[in-house]
Structure 1
Amino acid sequence: MSYSHAREIEALNRSLADISQDIQVSFEFFPPNSPAMEETLWSSIERLAPLKPSFVSVTYGAGSGTRDRTHDVIKRIQKDTALIAAPHLTCIDASKEELIQIAKDYWQSGVRHIVALRGDLPKGNTEKHSYASDLVELLRSVADFDISVAAYPEVHPEAPNAQFDLLNLKRKIDAGANRAISQFFFDVESYLRFRDRCVTVGIDVEIVPGILPVTNYKTLERFAGLTNVHVPSWMTKMYQGLEDDEMTRRLVGANIAMEQVKVLNREGVKNFHFYTLNRAELTYAICHMLGIRPQ
């Protein structure tokens, strides 16, 4: 081993030694829509389950087909693993009565944690619609759920301004949400500024940062465009020339996510939510580097 490589490893070890040992992680998955994707999902869950996450969430879209797939995944996680399953639930495209019944069914099947979201509006929709705060209030009326909601450090794409978006988050917390999970981001300062602004309006729950390990930069550009997430120029440069080099892209993605976690941990963050995209490799490697090992 060269002297320079030894110095790099020593510096990495010192950096990792600074990371808090009481970090907690949670993971997000989405319901598969093909046999191949189903196999990938369950192999990823099997790989990540021994890390003992605080919970695993499963996304939920509009329409009964996606909902049924979400319910099936949640039920199987409940039945076949020791994980705490937290289904996403949206209030778009469902009546109040339907939402109450879904919530009751979840509670009766042992689900205690729900991620409450408004959901995406159908294109061209101009009708009055419910908000996530309404769904939080409804869930609180059904049972004593542990409720997570979404937060947007760089502002929700449909919000007219940052203050409106912040006050909307406060309504969700005031309605009874236990925590907020942030949209993924890469500008750490944007998250820290957002966290400070939350305090100024009386939001006193934890804002769990959402971490997205990136393997495909083109996919990231599409996601970022849809969600109003800023991709820094330094990050664009890091992926240049790697279109046909998946291994290096993975190393770059893992390094960026690790740097985010290290900086945030120094700022007092102890809980992190990983958007896995149903792939375990990068998330597992990052958790391993954080000292989170199979139990």
Structure 2
Amino acid sequence: MIAKKEKIYTIVSKILLIIIGASLSSIGLEIFLVPNRIIDGGVVGISIISSYLTKFPLGLFTFILNVPFFIIGYKQIGKSFVLHTLLAVTSLSIGVSILHPIPGLTHDIFLAAVFGGIINGAGVGLIIRSGGSLDGTEIVAIIFDKKTSFSIGEIVMFFNIFILTGAGFIFGWDRTMYSLVAYFIAFKVIDIVVEGVDESKAVMIVSDESEEITSALTDRLGRGVTILNGKGAYSKAPYNVIYVVVSRLELSKLKSIVLNFDENALITIGSVEVAGKKYKKKAIH
């Protein structure tokens, strides 16, 4: 019974987050980007161009142009992802249709690109975090990723370069450059929303000053540190490897601590998913 309630809660939470995400993207598009002829990537970008050329509603194009991708994705990927994406795209189409009569909040193109990118990125990030997507090109990218040597990011980027180039001939190249600004900002915000501001990073440090660095990391960051025994493949000399997991926001301080003791230290950083209580910070006195 409890498991069933938790499952229902999870489903409802995802639905609400997808609707909220699509609503934020609608605001980013209709209040900031579209009034200033700044476009987004993927099917949304094609929809903005099509709406501008034909004068038909943007919401109509965002839904109709995504339908073929829903059909392909349902057969190739699975219904859960496609249903979440369908909900997101439907919510976006309704949202931009409702907001279309409202005038843009600013006519400053740079401000529109920045704030439009932030709000749109936050919306897309919530949707991705909830297991959906806001763009049919991502469905195609997932399918091609399985059948080719290209990554999902590379395939999506190819689509967007083609779309933004087309927009340059229609809206002007200055608008295309502002669109790139908005796209870059949205991409960064999506990363923060999906991974979290407190995203965990695994750090490995090779240094001759390992004891001093270990002590400083423990005292100043309050993080548990693990010492691994290493050996040079060529020199055969033994050395200590410091392993520590920190948040994204602590990386700058960690680098400063390490390089203060040894400016020649080797620092490698990677993103990790962490579970367990041992990761929690210790009190710093």
Which of the pair has more CA radius of gyration?
2
TM-score bucket (shorter structure): under 0.3
Greater per-residue helix proportion: 2
More strand by share: 1
TM-score w.r.t. structure 1 length?
0.24
The alignment's TM-score, normalised by the length of structure 2, stands at: 0.25
